[in-house]
Amino acid sequence: MRETLLLIFVVIAMQVTGCATIHTKGKPTINRTDATGFINRPVTVDKSVMTYSLFIPKDYDPKKPWPLTVFFHGAGKRGSDGLFQTEVGIGRTIRRHADWFPCLVAMPQCPLKEKVFWDKSESIIDAALADARTNYSVARNGFI
């Protein structure tokens, strides 16, 4: 009984805080290109698999081109989980007001290495952009 109540509490908390934002069209969400919400996308960078997060609007239609926005988090959100960077800035706002963002939003994560910042992380940025452009309908000029 106690475990059931705890599970119910966790599920409700996830929905209220926006953690459960991945929507699918009846299929699993692992690396699918037909899911919407925050999707963790694996990319290979320098022979290592890294994860970036991609927000896909609920009304995403692959038949039309979508603008792509890139969000660069601050130094405190570096890591490799692909999630930490979505909890601040634009990610936090998207969780509260997803309808304000009629665009794809790529959120790469800067590696957690001493003295490594965005100026030395071009490869993860390039890999995230290439993945988004390859697997989603991204407008060439950035506008609809």
Q: What is the pLDDT of residues 35-66, one digit of tens each?
A: 788 999 999 988 888 889 999 999 999 999 99
Examine residue 91 and state whether it is found in any structural domain, yes or no.
yes
| Mean pLDDT across the chain | 77
pLDDT at residue 110 in the model: 85
Residue 120 included in any domain: yes
Exposed/middle/buried for 54, CB within 10 Å: 0-12, 13-18, 19+?
buried
Lowest mean pLDDT among 73-82, 103-112, 129-138: 73-82
Domain count, the chain: 1
**pLDDT per position as a tens digit, 92-114:** 999 999 999 999 999 998 887 77
Q: And the tokens for 63?
A: 């038949």
Q: Which domain holds residue 124?
A: 23-135
* 30 occurs within a structural domain: yes
Q: Is residue 7 part of a domain?
A: no
pTM over the 0.75 mark: no
18 located within any domain: no
For residue 1, being part of any structural domain is answered with: no
CATH code for the domain of 119: 3.40.50.1820
Would residue 66 count as lying in a domain? yes
Establish if 97 belongs to a structural domain: yes
Contact call for residues 83 and 62 (beta carbons, < 8 A): no
* 76 vs 85: CA distance, rounded Å: 9
